[in-house]
Chains A and B, each alone.
Chain A
Amino acid sequence: MKRTMLGRTPSTSMITGSLAVALALEMLPWGGFPAPDFVALMLVFWNIFQPRRVGIALAWLLGILMDVHAGSLLGQHALAYSILSYGAIALHRRLLWYSLAGQALQLLPLFFLAKIIVVLVHLFFSGVGPSWTFFVSPLLTAALWLPVTSAILNRLNRPLSSTAAIGR
């Protein structure tokens, strides 16, 4: 069995850069389209591969930024992302032993959970539920796990790809 792992430690600028790109993608004018949650995706990725550098505190801060952008109550996304991030960190040792598709499948409930928390908070405070399309977004997020993870892994493993250290 092969374990998914990073060939070398990603630089801090790579981590912040990827999270910034995710935030920028969120800010595109999606309108009512149930776009995947890019920030959640990148957050979970770094939670799993670098749990000691990207943790719950960062998740919380990103959540506050998302709340300001989305115009929702402050703390709504912060709550969801904190729990999402905890889930990802709790999973991270086990998850790396699965194939990418298996990982996406295991993360799907986690993304759903994060979405449901946002919905529940909104429901609790204002009594208005979402339309069903809202739940398409976690599916897309989980589906994006495959290309995003393989892209970043390729990038980090490339310089070492000729040595035997990777294909263990």
Chain B
Amino acid sequence: MALSQSPPPLFKQGLPARLRMLIAVLAAVGMLYSDLHFGMLKPLRQGLSMVLYPIEQLLILPRDIALWLGRYGAVVSDVASQRVSLERKEVEYSESLLQTEQLRLENESLRALLELRKLIKHKTVAAQISHETRDAFSNRIVIDRGSQHGVAPGHPVINAHGVVGQVMRVSPITAEVSLVTDPSLMIPVSLPRSGLRSLASGTGDGQQVELKYLNINAEVDVGDVLVTSGLDGLYPSGLPVAKINRVERAGSGQFPRITSTPVAVIGTLQHVLVILIDQELIPPAPREMDRPIPKARNEMNK
């Protein structure tokens, strides 16, 4: 196409630019709505992400190599001391492990006596964090396990420290996980000290988790750890979620403002565990996972 040689475009311009923009805008808005409400575009998104995935991995590779090299040097330097401390820990843990096993058996028989529902033991899938998504508002990470490995939207994700978040979207080989700092995620928690139950959700700044709808007189102190209550049937109960770092007493008619920092520190190349819960336990998603619980509106005004 030797367009630069063509005469000044006085005559044949095709569709005027304004009309073209209108068509493009309408197409984009139509796509937004159908993505949000009908989920028709899932195959398109999955197909495109399968194409983009190898490219993304290739581009992340230099960073991974650098991280790996750095880690390798560190490991070589103190592998001996680590081994000693690990062996000591193993001895320490083996005792408590035996104890837990005993307690578990005891607990089981007690539960059987009380005819309580048995604690369900779920299958898990170990995954590695590959990167954070580019979308600056949502606190999401991408992990390297997808629907091929049994991961589905709604599955909780944990690591050694506690709750990391929840799977929001899956492709065959990757999954997007909303972190606990995401405002669209709500986790039922309880305070072990006082036994109070509440809901925790992100504040949207990527650092904090807020405690919702707690009684004014609730006994909460800085340093308390929030653990999952297990009431939703998704998260196993007793997993640490966040540590309270600020308590603002409320005036009359208000809820106290209580913020906390998540316990699970997220970095790259870290390992996480996806808990594969039974599909029938997962409540129906609020239509496509992008629409959060409509509480977020009033949060913008703060």
CA distance A26 to B1 in the complex (A): 29
Interface size classification for chain A: 35 or more
Number of A-B residue pairs with CB-CB distance less than 8 Å in the complex they form: 156
Q: How far is the CB of A86 from chain B (nearest CB, A)?
A: 4
Chain A residues positioned under 8 Å from B24 (CB to CB): 56-57, 59-60, 78-79, 82, 85-86
Chain A residues positioned under 8 Å from B136 (CB to CB): 32, 34, 130-131, 133-134
B55 touches A24 (CB 8 A): yes
Q: A residues 47-80 with Cβ under 8 Å of B?
A: 50, 52-53, 55-57, 59-60, 63-65, 68-76, 78-79
A70 touches B135 (CB 8 A): yes
Q: B residues 147-194 with Cβ under 8 Å of A?
A: 169, 176, 183-184
Interface size classification for chain B: 35 or more
B56 on the A face (CB < 8 A): yes
Chain B residues positioned under 8 Å from A32 (CB to CB): 132, 136, 206
Q: How far is the CB of B136 from chain A (nearest CB, A)?
A: 5
Kindly specify which of B40-48, B69-77, B240-248 makes contact with the partner chain: B40-48
B35 touches A29 (CB 8 A): no
CA distance A32 to B45 in the complex (A): 23
Which of B30, B63, B290 has a CB less than 8 Å from the CB of A29? Answer: B63
CB closest chain-B residue, reference A24: B59
CA distance A147 to B278 in the complex (A): 54
Q: B residues 281-302 with Cβ under 8 Å of A?
A: 290-292, 294, 296-297, 299-300
Q: A residues 7-61 with Cβ under 8 Å of B?
A: 8-9, 12, 24, 26-32, 34, 50, 52-53, 55-57, 59-60
Q: Using an 8 Å CB-CB cutoff, how does the interface string of B24-63 with A read, 1 for contact, 0 for none? A: 1101111110011000010011001100100110011001
A167 on the B face (CB < 8 A): no
Chain A residues positioned under 8 Å from B131 (CB to CB): 29, 31
Chain B residues positioned under 8 Å from A122 (CB to CB): 135, 137
CA distance A74 to B39 in the complex (A): 10
CA distance A31 to B139 in the complex (A): 10
A90 on the B face (CB < 8 A): yes
B292 touches A56 (CB 8 A): no
B59 touches A65 (CB 8 A): no
B52 touches A75 (CB 8 A): no
A9 touches B3 (CB 8 A): yes
A89 touches B59 (CB 8 A): no
Q: Hey, which bits of chain B sit against chain A, CB under 8 A?
A: 1-4, 9, 17-18, 20-21, 24-25, 27-32, 35-36, 41, 44-45, 48-49, 52, 55-56, 59-60, 63, 131-138, 140, 142, 169, 176, 183-184, 204-206, 268, 290-292, 294, 296-297, 299-300
Closest 8 CB pairs of A and B: A75-B31, A82-B24, A79-B28, A86-B21, A75-B32, A127-B296, A78-B28, A70-B134
